[in-house]
Structure 1
Amino acid sequence: MAYDSNVLRRATQRLSEERRLREEMQDRRRAEIYQKLPQVAQIDQQLRRTIVDIIAASLRTGDDPAPAIGEVKRKNQALQERRTQLLLENGYPADALDARPACPTCGDTGWVGANMCSCLKKLCAQEQIRELSKLLDLGEQSFDTFSLDYYSDRPWPGELESPRERMEFIRDVCYNYASRFPKFVYRNLFLTGAPGLGKTFLSACIARAVAEKGYSVVYDTAVNIFARFEEQKFSRDELDIRDARDETRRYLHCDLLILDDLGSEMTTPFVQSALYTLVNTRLTAGRRTVISSNLSMDEVRRRYSGQTASRLEGEYRVLPFYGEDIRLLRKQRPI
């Protein structure tokens, strides 16, 4: 999973901070116990010395070290039993002085060999939701809160389904896409239709559900995405170029890219080329993409290159939205 470097950095910092706080709490508890039970402090000093004794016995030359090591171990065991007894008699748990990691799998490092541990993945998912919330209102946007009440159940002109029937189908496709990610039968989605029909809302629902599963999700508008591609190619400022390169790398390599409002950008030959690069690179790598647009597929064919339109039509499940503008209906008759 290709997490954004900022997301990974913040998650790693949180993991380190949580580990530091646990260590400080353990130090305070140890100091409290030593002050209340000086004998326990003395036992711990003796236990530390037994380690030196074991090393000395194992390095001793000329004699078999096994008897000496055995004696040291027996002494060590007796000291531990006495310490446990003192702790229990004074109301402390037997392991009160043991430093135990919150995650026994990775020892609170966040990594098991070269693989990210589930504890760090969980923090990355939380940070990713926070990152997405900067651009998307994820407060109440979830499949559970998606309502069909604003969609008419009357036949829609020129269509076989009512808007409500159509949106029930689209909602179910989006829900299954997110809940089964990345194994759903449709790898990529193209949400098309007039403004105010719920495309961005369902995109946010998908983003939340997939991010909560621990996959890297990047959401951005077409205007921002193509501006970053343009900065990377044409900017003369090295810092701007580096930032734009980092952003475009996120767009190309995240597990799920949600490109919102395709068609709102000024369409130039460069934008046409950048869109094809983005779509084709992600398809070739097997990475998933959701695109929303007010453009119909006929308008996409006229506005962008034939290659791009062919890739979208061939590799994306096109979901046409229709109905009345939900935003206007909410103002007229709030539920």
Structure 2
Amino acid sequence: MAYDGKILRRALQRFEEDKRAREERARDRREGVFHRQPRLREIDAELRATMSRILSTALRKGTDPRAAVEALKKQNLGLQEERRLLLEGLGLPADCLEEKPACPLCADAGWRDGRMCRCLKAYCAREQQRELSRMLDLGNQSFESFSLGWYSEAEDPALGVSPRENMDWICRTCKRYAAGFGQGSGNLLLTGDPGLGKTFLSAAIAREVSAEGYSVVYDTAVHIFDRFEARKFGRELGEAVEADVERVMDCDLLILDDLGTEMTTPFVQSALYSILNGRITDRRATILSTNLKLDELARRYTPQIASRIEGEYQVLPFFGEDIRRLRKERG
């Protein structure tokens, strides 16, 4: 489980900005207190000097520093008591001049025991949510807001099930997938006509998985293949295009939307196979969303691609009336 470099850099930037803002507020608060009672500034400086003398005395070679250290400690305690009384006279708590870290676990370092602290993980999660929200309506598209009421209860004679029953099964499947997400969670193929809820449920999965700290990349097939082509043929140089390709290959969950809308060139077929095969080999989960049916995918792409999809993806077939059109008609 790891956030990609793009997300981590943004999270670290915001983390440091907030940390500096807290430090500035703490300094302003201290200056306000010192302005009200100047003796507190003197005590603060004396306490800092006393601590330095304690350390230097304790480290002095050739002498027994214990007596001097004890004397300095008493002086330190006396200053602390004077400070407490002065603050009490101002109606302030004894610790109001202390700079307390926002995170008690890592003291605002962001890392603990060589691992990312939960405070920095929260920043990463928010940055990833912002990134996903550029293409998905994460604010409204969730499992809780998904409604089966738009799907007909009339049974489809050819399939032996109604659109509502089918969508109930698909929704429950997606919920289980998101709730139990982890390495080796497997892959999903969302297939069906436009306007049936594929993007909605993709967003719901992305929202849940991202909130658990997994890295999620959502993008269209057209844009992903464009980035792969730019790297392959040197159309764009620099770190940005390389980072985009790495994000696609290395994220915990890739949601590749609108597969089949791109121009199907030999390069696109090669890139698609590399994505699918590479992520399967690394046990990284992928969700493919397409308006094409399974047999149409097989005709459009290579037999190797069709084989990988059929063998490694759970197929979720969407059918029914266009929900977007129904919403528009019903106002």
TM over 0.5: yes
Aligned pairs, how many? Answer: 331
Mapping 1:33-72, distance limit 5 Å: 33-72=33-72
What is the SS of the residue equivalent to 2:150? coil
Q: Which amino acid aligns with 1:211?
A: S
Deviations 1:258-286 (A, max 9, x none): 00011111112211111110011111111
**Counterpart Cα distance in 2 of 1:61 and 1:202:** 70
Provide TM-score, normalisation by structure 2: 0.94
Q: 1:304 aligned to 2:301? A: yes
Q: Which residue of 2 aligns with 1:7?
A: 7
Q: Which residue of 1 is the match for residue 168 of structure 2?
A: 168
Alpha-carbon distance, 1:153 to partner: 0.6
Counterpart residue identity of residue 129, structure 2: I
User: Which SS does the other structure have where 1:138 is aligned?
Assistant: coil
**Residue 313 of structure 1, aligned match among 294, 310, 314:** 310
Q: Cα–Cα, structure 1 residues 3 and 61, in superposed 2: closer, same or farther, change >3 Å? A: closer
Note the C-alpha offset of 1:124.
1.2
The amino acid across from 2:124 in the alignment is C
Tell me the amino acid that sits aligned with residue 276 of structure 1.
Y
Aligned to 2:217: 218
2-side partners of 1:119 and 1:317: how far apart? Answer: 36
CA contact (8 A) 2:183 2:283 kept: no
Q: Show the counterpart of 1:89.
A: 89
Q: How does the TM-score come out when normalised to structure 1?
A: 0.93
Distance 2:236 2:155 in 1: 55
Q: Which of 260, 275, 289 is residue 278 of structure 1 equivalent to? A: 275
Moved more, 2-11 or 65-74: 2-11
Inter-partner Cα distance in structure 1 for 2:197 and 2:318? 8
- Distance in 2 of aligned mates of 1:61 and 1:315: 70
Letter in 1 for 2:20: R
Q: CA 1:233/1:59 → structure 2, altered by over 3 Å: closer, same or farther?
A: closer
Q: In 2, distance between residues paired with 1:195 and 1:236?
A: 32
Distance 1:81 1:258 in 2: 61
Counterpart in the other structure of 2:188: 189
> CA separation in 2, counterparts of 1:21 and 1:108?
12
1:243 maps to 240
- Which residue matches 1:200? 199
After superposition, the Cα gap between the structure-2 partners of 1:276 and 1:35, relative to the gap in structure 1 and judged at 3 Å, is: same
In the aligned structure 1, how far is the partner of 2:274 from the partner of 2:61? 70
Cα deviation 1:101-139 (Å, max 9, x = unaligned): 101222222222432111111111111111111112223
Taking the aligned partners of 1:196 and 1:295, their CA distance within structure 2 comes to 13
1:237 Cα deviation after fit: 4.2
- Judge conservation of contact 2:254–2:287 (CA < 8 Å) in 1: yes
For residues 296 and 309 of structure 1, the distance between their equivalents in structure 2, rounded to whole angstroms, comes to 12
Give the corresponding residue for 2:232: 233
What is the match of residue 324 of structure 1?
A: 321
Q: CA deviation at 1:95?
A: 0.9
1:78 equivalent in structure 2: 78
Q: Is the 2:179–2:208 Cα contact (8 Å) retained in structure 1?
A: yes
**Residues 21 and 146 (structure 1), Cα distance of their counterparts in 2 relative to 1, 3 Å cut:** same
CA 1:263 to 1:85, structure 2 compared with 1: closer, same or farther past 3 Å?
same
Q: Take 1:149 and 1:56, find their aligned partners in 2: how far apart are those partners?
A: 75
Q: Is the 8 A contact 2:183 2:252 kept in 1?
A: no
Gaps of 5+ in 1: none
